[in-house]
Structures are given as C-alpha cells and as structure tokens.
A and B are shown apart, each in its own frame.
Chain A
C-alpha cells in the first residue's frame, strides 16, 4: 500500500502548487533552447572548429561510454555505485602501457602495431574483467545483505588500494609518465584521424556486442531477471551469483578496452587518471539514467561533446570551466528529470 500513499502524497503536493510544474516545464524548455542556440552559434561562427571539437568529443565520449557502462551495469544489477571502477580503468591503462611499449616495443602506430593493439585489448579486457570479478567475489558478495553503505565504503577503499598499487615505483610511480608513442596519419582540426578510427573500430563493435549479449542471449535474460528480483530469478533456475559475477566481468572488460584506447590516445599513464575519468563516466551513467545501457552511451557521448565544444568551440568557456559546465548541465537535468534521460521514473519501482 506504500504505492497508494505515495501517489496520494504526490497529487496533494501538486494540488497545492499548481503553477510549479508549468514554470518548471517552461524553464526546462528555455534551458534546452539556450543549449540549441549555443550549438548553432558555435556552428555558424566557426564551422571548422565546431567539426574538430565534435570529433574530439566523439572520441572522448566513446571512452566515457565504455567506462560508464561498467558503472551502470553494476548499479543495475546490485545497486552498488562501484567507486573503484575508474581506478580499475586506470590500472588497465598501466597494463596497456607496460605491454605495448615496455614488452612489445611499440613506438609508432602502424599497420604492424594493430596486432599489438589486439593483443593489448585481449590482455587488458581479461585483466579488467578478472580484477572486477575478484573484487566482487572477495568483497561485495559477502556484503550483499549488509546495509548499502558497507559495500559502498568497500568500493571507496578498493579505489584507494588500486591507486596505491599504481603509485608504487615498480608499477607507475606517483608522477605522470609519458610514453614515447607517436601518431602519424592525417590530422583534421587537431584530431588525429587514426586515433578516432581506432576508437570507433574498437568501441562500436564492443557496444554492439554488449547490446546483443543483453538483449538476445540467455545470460542477458538472466541479467535482466536478476536486476529485477534476485529470489525470483533463483526460483527460475538462474544462477544469481554467477550472473552478478558475469556482469562485473563484463564491466571490467569494457573498462580494460577503454584503458587501452585511452593510453594510446593520451600516451600517458598517471595514478589519478581514474578519479577524473571515472567521475565523468559515472556522471554520464547518471545523466543517461543509471541502470540503463543506452543511457550510459548517450550520456557519455553528450558529456564528451559538450566538454569538447566548451574547450574548442567558438563560444566555449575554455578547459578550466569544462567540469563546471558538465555538472551545471547535469544539475539542471536532474532538476527537471531526476531519473536521467532514459531512466525509469522511480515511482514505478515502488
């Protein structure tokens, strides 16, 4: 009967302030219109810079999307905000660097290095999946029936552990490391075309694969069932622990792929990379509607493009304002649509 009382409460509140929703809606459209005007102004003022920024935004946004998927899937199935996810991603950038540069000696990205790239993808995806599954098995699983704060604090703790590991001198050290990799090929408005092609060539198939797994396979069905009702799923003969483990593995693998791509694009490794990127990716997941897979991708792309336009567009505020712009947009969206772009209204959940 909780639903009924909630609904009653809602209508009572609405009945009191009739004007509220109307004003909110008008404000919402006004904000949307402002964003559109800003976009159009950017295109008109300098189409070339706009195109360049758009490409940069696409490239970054796809990486955000890969990491955001890990946040959103884990949240969708066990309602845990896995704060260690960004740092897991950071660890895989270091693994990618060690494997590609130190071990395989890649310094220039040519056709030959595609093999090295594929190898790095396989290794880092496996490592990301394995670390994430281990974290779930060793820590989160045991806390599943504990109060929600316990696994959350565990995730924060794991995040520090991952950063600590990366800070060891024999891993990466406390300073930022620059790796001697050079990119060739054509450049459009400051965007290396090969980088963008690489990101697209890796990300798009991965996203399609993900969609296929979730919507078409038996494991995908199990994932959706477990997300909705664990006991119900168990009674259907679904291995709930196995399914949750698989989701952590999948999320970790996507973070691993993102790690390889990020390392190759930036040619840097730093123990703090995961904090920033992880936070942005988490924001993408929230923006798109946490728990929703397409939402994470749309959220990641939106944030990537907004950031890039803000930094490179004709009417941008510059990179020092990037995070502020992103979060102001997030806050405004949350006010009008708290469940995110594709999220379900929470009332349905009750």
Chain B
C-alpha cells in the first residue's frame, strides 16, 4: 500500500470515529499522524486520535505499545519525529514541557515521579507551581484533599515513605493542582491493590464531572473501558482499533487480545 493510500485509509477510520461520537462537543486535543522515535527505534508511528471536551478517552495496549511515549509527547517531554499535536486549535509540538503545563495540560506520569524527599504538602504546592491565583489554589487544594482524604492524613509526611497507592493518589492530586483542562493519566492503577484501583477509577469519574477532560493510559484495559467514552487501541506503536468504549468491550477481537479473553 502506498503511503498516500495508507494515510487516506487512516483518515477514513478517524472520520468514522468522529461521526460516532456525540455531535457538538469541541475537540480539545488532536494528534495528527504522529510519529515518535527513540534514536532509530520507532515508538509511535502515524498515530491520529482526537479527544473531545469533557470526555474520558482511554489509550490501551500491551506493554511497549507506545502509550507512555504518546503521553510524554503530548506533555512536551519528547518531540515528535513527524506529525502534530494540536491542543485547543493550536499546534503545541515543539513547545517545551514546562510551557505545556501552562496551557492546561497536566500529567500524572508513569512511575509517578513524585518528589520523594518532600512532604505531601510540598508536592501539592509544586503541582500549582505555575499558578498565581492564590485563592483558587487554596480552593483546589481543599478539593483534591476531599477527593483523596488519605492525603490529608499524611499531609506532612515525606512522600517517599508512603505506600504505592498513596503515592499514586499524590501523583494524580498533584496533577490536578495544575488546574488542567486536559488531564493525562499514565497507568494510575499500576501496582495497586484491587480495592485501591476501584478508588482511583471512581475518582477519575469524579474528576470528569468537575469539567476536566481525561486521557487515560492503562494496561488494565477492562477497568479503563468501563469508565471511558472512547478508546484507542495501540499495538507496536500503531493504531490498531478505535471506537466507543462500550462497543470495544463487546468486541471479541479486543477482549481476546487485551482483556484476557473475557
């Protein structure tokens, strides 16, 4: 297949996806034919996807499929080799990572990357690093501590001394304090006890009701599809399938590959 034919084929897939979504919702994030590589190794190839305002969109796929690479590229930690990242109508690839945060894209990254030797409180303060609206920050802080009461109990504890689940909560809470319009969550259920996984996923739904759009990367595909509106499935850096999350849950090929044959 020629490159052009491949492109148009992909366009039509994207168009189908867009049609099946509710009309009238604004597109907040669009990846256009995005390719990212580490040296000579291609991590993501010709990925196109859209996230609409107010949605929970999930990006699923097996280990090494390029999910985290995609999020890191959106956050400006990696530069795409080709293709564009468009946020709220403007191209943002090439903008350095610390500037992307100011646009309203916050990420709870893979491996949490919390500041281990600082207290929970200091970590939360750093979440609001770029903001100057002191009153609103205090309000948001109160809000995330409502979402994660566990963090309030540990507010003066060194973050590195908390359990994995608590650290994960902190990573999400810290990202929320950046007052995001788009929240990127990279494997928030990684390494957590099942009870805590439920808590995290319930919280993600709560976050959405507060007007934050969520792009969720998960290996726990079942849990992700259950709360998401729309899903993209990556395989070896390429888009394999996409569709409404509820439909993918019923798709035997997806369930066989990613949900352990449910």
Report which A residues bind B (CB closer than 8 A). Answer: 218, 221-222, 224-225, 228-229, 231-240, 344, 348
Contacts and interface: CB of A to CB of B under 8 A. Distances in A.
Contacts of B116: 228-229
Given A221-B125, A221-B126, A229-B115, A237 B109 contact: no
11 contacts: A228-B116, A229-B116, A232-B114, A233-B126, A234-B76, A235-B107, A236-B98, A236-B178, A237-B98, A237-B102, A348-B117
A225 B160 contact: no
Contact of A225 (B76, B107, B115, B130): B115
Interface of B: 75-77, 96-99, 101-102, 106-107, 109, 113-118, 122, 125-127, 129-130, 160, 174-175, 178
B109 A231 contact: yes
Given A222-B129, A225-B126, A235 B113 contact: yes
A231 B77 contact: yes
B42 to A, nearest CB: 19
Contact of A228 (B98, B109, B115, B178): B115
Contacts of A218: 129
B118 A228 contact: yes
Contacts of A222: 129
A222 B99 CA distance: 15
Contacts of A235: 75, 77, 97, 101, 106-107, 109, 113, 175
B77 A236 contact: no
Contacts of B96: 239
B178 to A, nearest CB: 7
A234 B107 CA distance: 10
Contacts of B117: 228, 344, 348
Contacts of A237: 98-99, 101-102, 129-130, 178
Contacts of A224: 115, 118
A234 B126 contact: no
A225 B101 CA distance: 16
Given A222-B129, A225-B126, 19 more contacts: A221-B122, A221-B126, A221-B129, A225-B118, A228-B115, A228-B116, A231-B77, A231-B113, A232-B109, A234-B97, A234-B98, A235-B97, A236-B98, A236-B178, A237-B98, A237-B101, A237-B130, A238-B126, A239-B98
